[in-house]
Amino acid sequence: MKSLQVSTVVEDPASVDAAIESRFSARAFLPRVVPREQITDILRVASRAASGTNTQPWKVYVLQGESRDSLVQKVCAAHDAVYADPALAAEYREAYDYYPEKWVSPYIDRRRENGWGLYGLLGITKGDKDRMHAQHHRNFKFFDAPVGLMFTLERVMGRGSLVDYGMFLQGIMVAARARGLHTCPQAAWNPFARIILPHIGAGPEELLVCGMALGYADEAERVNSFHTPRVPVEQFTTWLE
């Protein structure tokens, strides 16, 4: 196969486009089992992602069954504890700044549109902190997906490895779509790395990049009708001739 990469013809570009364009953050999954062989195949395909000097910096931990369920219990308990006593949030710090310290337009506008669009669909009104907490809590149940993925990076690596990681994660999500599966990439887990890393057996030299839910989306759940908009190409592209 390696010798054919340069000459391989993608016979159905529409299917490739469909896999990319139908990807969204699913927030409700069926309990249907995802075979280990299928997960392995998805990771194999995604491992073809580009990385600087071929460093391939990703480390993946797949949680199913008891390992998944016990992590859910631990982090859900911690999340509830922080909600009950916000001072405890100081004990849970992200290893890197996923979001900016100060939000500016147009990014804050898109963030707000995303948040209120989702909460509006679910009938959660502004100020309804209990229901907002409950919805956020769903993250820590992997939205009921039977497969949870945790991704780590060795701390010795540079910021560029996070760029590499993004391509790898996109590869997983697109390969999952090609197999009829859906995903939800989750930075929500990051503050709870002190619980997650020992649970998955990651060493002190690793930092948590993010988590991801993987499984078959529940088409009957209203939340999965929420799809975020994208700005037109003309808005983010500058043509130079």
> Rounded CA gap, 83 and 89, in Å?
9
Domains in the chain (CATH in brackets) are: 23-98+139-227 (3.40.109.10)
Residues 142-182 pLDDT 10s: 999 999 999 999 999 999 999 999 999 999 999 999 999 99
Q: What is the mean pLDDT of residues 82-110?
A: 95
Are 75 and 150 in contact by the 8 Å Cβ rule? The answer is no
Residues 38-73 pLDDT 10s: 999 999 999 999 999 999 999 999 999 999 999 999
Are 239 and 170 in contact by the 8 Å Cβ rule? The answer is no
Amino acid at position 13, single letter: P
Is the pLDDT at 95 greater than 80? The verdict is: yes
The residues, any chain, with a CB within 8 Å of residue 170's CB and separated by 6 or more, are 49
Residue 5 has a pLDDT of 83
pTM of the predicted model as reported, rounded to 2 decimal places: 0.95
Average model confidence (pLDDT) across the chain: 96
